[in-house]
Structure 1
Amino acid sequence: MSLIEKCPLAGLEAFIGRCLEACTMPGPDAAKVAGLMAQADLMGQDGHGVFRLPMYVRRIRAGGMNMTPTFERLSERPATALIDGDNGMGHLVMHHATELAMDKARTTGVAWVGARHSNHAGPASLYAMMPARENMIGLYLAVGSANHMPPWGGTDMLLSTNPIAVAVPSQEYPPIVLDMATTVAAYGKVKTAAQRGETMPEGWMIDREGRPLTDPARASEGFLLPIGGPKGYGLSLIFGILAGVLNGAAFGRDVVDFNAEAETVTNTGHMILALDIAAFADPAAFRAGIDDVWRQMKSSARMPGVGEIRLPGERLHRVMIERKAEGIPIPAQLRNALDRLAADLGVASL
């Protein structure tokens, strides 16, 4: 894969901010979104970071997103809230919702905040990790931004990747961070594979005749496969209900394809749960217990040919350390697209 010189995190963040401000997003909001998008790239979530910027700009310019949203609490109790995102950028909506959930959890022990009239918000782990930095456990669910999966045994695209992320803090070791789609691969990985000219492994997608589909350029001819067969379908369905139907957000046939449609409001739904560890245990003792979980998992006897047992979030942590030190790699094709975007917006290039 052809790469340009690796980009420092600060440089990537500044570039994203310039582009968003050129699209009339207020400076503080542009800085916040840029920080979250760059963080996605830092974590190795390449399908959810700057890769998405041209798509965001296209939707903003088409009037598909509101650059000056006002977040309204449609309903609220001590441990819950429902937020209307006013069609704002998903990163802003979910950052606001997560901060509200953490604030409530400090009093109630656990808090659940749902959101509707939002948009694509980047990787799920961004928001689950926010509570984990505050001695909390974070759990995030979302309705994906396009339907790429039918119900088990069907062919109508009624479900999305509907991800889940859970982040658990530890003491000496990195936090345990589960971030997964309910499909074998997230659709962002399909798009990045297409951009890099790579093929997909068998098992990611099948065509409508049930045959393996490995060419990402032909992704529209098939659909993503759920993890664990019907079990993954069931998870996608339930997560979609909790993040979508419960919040009055789009679900099933009402989901708008964010990638193909720039003008129609998506009404994307999310939910975030923050659990204050102090409501159940001494936080330091709990984090030490998670360290012990690390040691137990890592010390397990291994099957032949297995070099290392890894925990969820371990690779993410290693990638973050590497990219902080060396910069974030940008494929040549993506760099070209970002250069064209910068020229179109009249801002300094990356």
Structure 2
Amino acid sequence: MPDETLTIAIPEIRSLAMDACLACGASSSVAQSLVDATISAACEGTRDLGFPHLMDYLARFRSGGINGQARPKIQHPLPALIQVDADGGIAQLGFDLIFEDYVKRIRAFGVVTFTQKNSFTAGELGYYVRRLAAEGILSIAVANGPALMTVPGSRRKIFCTNPIAFAAPAGPGRRPVVIDQASSATAFVKLRSAADEKRSIPDSWALDGNGQPTTDASEAIKGALLPFGGYKGANMALMVELLAAGLSGAAWSMDGDDFIDETRRIDAGLTVIGMAPIDAVGFAERLDRYASRLEDDGVHVPGRNRDRPLSAHVTVPLALVEKLKHLSLSTPPDR
């Protein structure tokens, strides 16, 4: 039987989530960045990486697996390159701190790279590119983390889910094109959700602890995810790894700490490449006309989501709201 849900006003759930973050040991700046990204995922992106994923952050704030008081260190080794050390905190904060300057540099130089190491996993990757699209900027984002996925020819976990996201800005009143997908056949949060709900999974998603395909999500968590499309997904994961961890100096996925252990700090990498169209208005108008032609021909254009209007409310599991209320009243951990 599906969990009972609650439709709640965004200002109310924002306040509740902020209180929970602060009570679990996050600073106000960390909490603000995380809650903004969470609401964005819940309303415009991947809902599984919205409020359900927020609970992972809260647990790690309390355990010390995320530095809730992080102060990212920002460097500009080149005019078109921004490097950030996230100080063991969340990935979103470093991006927030440089965002205004990042947009200015992209408009000045045409193409600018942001790269970050030493953070928790990036969360919903579409969040970063959607924000740039709102500024009229095209962008590609890639991220890695601790190894969760094996590849053809190997018997061990080599890569994380290694997602890639892309966004292109649309005209006024229109949503951008947004593509956000993992290199793995499914996201780890979806696998864990299936295990929690005791749902079966396709046997192409993962291997069990003995290296055999499985439809049992609980057994899959003991094993490894599989890439989509065999070698094609594995090749994309490698490309993401080199851009996310290689450029940033973050840990290679196969060298990262255990993702399941909530007490361990994760040194994940994130790279975002922003590109300014020469004629932003003309580009957006051309994209709108092209996207409309595709949609009229039955093609799904990711991100446009005609059936998902923006709302002042969000629907979340009632149990999650109760958990947030409980956490918001707890005592911050003593560090």
What's the CA shift string for 1:188-228, capped at 9, x where partnerless?
Answer: 11122333443323422233666542222222233222122
**Distance 1:31-1:213 versus aligned 2 partners, 3 A rule:** same
Q: CA deviation at 1:97?
A: 4.5
Q: Secondary structure at the match of 1:40?
A: helix
**Distance 1:180-1:292 versus aligned 2 partners, 3 A rule:** same
Counterpart of 1:93, as a letter, is G
Q: CA deviation at 1:335?
A: 4.5
Match of 2:66 in 1: 65
What does 1:214-233 correspond to in 2, within 5 Å? 214-233=215-234
CA contact (8 A) 2:23 2:328 kept: no
Match of 1:288 in 2: 285
Counterpart of 2:55, as a letter, is P
Counterpart of 1:22, as a letter, is A
TM-score calculated relative to the size of structure 2: 0.89
Match of 1:269 in 2: 269
**Distance 1:342-1:72 versus aligned 2 partners, 3 A rule:** closer
TM-score calculated relative to the size of structure 1: 0.86
Match of 1:52 in 2: 53
Superposition CA RMSD, Å: 2.3
Q: CA deviation at 1:338?
A: 3.7
- Partners of 1:334 and 1:198 lie apart in 2 by 20
Match of 2:235 in 1: 234
CA contact (8 A) 1:62 1:262 kept: yes
**Distance 1:28-1:210 versus aligned 2 partners, 3 A rule:** closer
**Distance 1:47-1:332 versus aligned 2 partners, 3 A rule:** same
Q: CA deviation at 1:170?
A: 1.4
- Partners of 1:210 and 1:24 lie apart in 2 by 39
Match of 1:313 in 2: 303
- Partners of 2:282 and 2:45 lie apart in 1 by 30
Tell me, yes or no, if structure 1 residue 161 matches structure 2 residue 161: yes
Q: Can you give the 5+ residue segments of structure 2 that lack an aligned partner in the other structure?
A: none
Counterpart of 1:138, as a letter, is S
Match of 1:104 in 2: 105
Tell me, yes or no, if structure 1 residue 247 matches structure 2 residue 248: yes
Q: 1:328 aligns with which of 292, 311, 314?
A: 314
Q: Which runs of 4+ in 1 moved over 6 A?
A: none
Tell me, yes or no, if structure 1 residue 117 matches structure 2 residue 118: yes
Q: CA deviation at 1:125?
A: 0.4
CA contact (8 A) 2:6 2:318 kept: no
Tell me, yes or no, if structure 1 residue 82 matches structure 2 residue 83: yes
CA contact (8 A) 2:247 2:271 kept: no
Which deviates the most, 263-272 or 25-34? Answer: 25-34
Counterpart of 1:329, as a letter, is T
Q: CA deviation at 1:340?
A: 4.6
- Partners of 1:125 and 1:92 lie apart in 2 by 15
**Distance 1:97-1:162 versus aligned 2 partners, 3 A rule:** farther
**Distance 1:208-1:155 versus aligned 2 partners, 3 A rule:** farther
Q: CA deviation at 1:294?
A: 0.8
**Distance 1:193-1:21 versus aligned 2 partners, 3 A rule:** same
- Partners of 1:201 and 1:343 lie apart in 2 by 40
- Paired residue total: 330
Q: Secondary structure at the match of 1:314?
A: coil
What does 1:173-212 correspond to in 2, within 5 Å? 173-207=174-208, 211-212=212-213
Q: CA deviation at 1:30?
A: 1.9
CA contact (8 A) 2:113 2:271 kept: yes
CA contact (8 A) 1:98 1:130 kept: no
**Distance 1:170-1:221 versus aligned 2 partners, 3 A rule:** same
Q: CA deviation at 1:129?
A: 0.9
- Partners of 1:230 and 1:291 lie apart in 2 by 34
- Partners of 2:105 and 2:120 lie apart in 1 by 24
Counterpart of 1:49, as a letter, is G
CA contact (8 A) 1:116 1:268 kept: yes
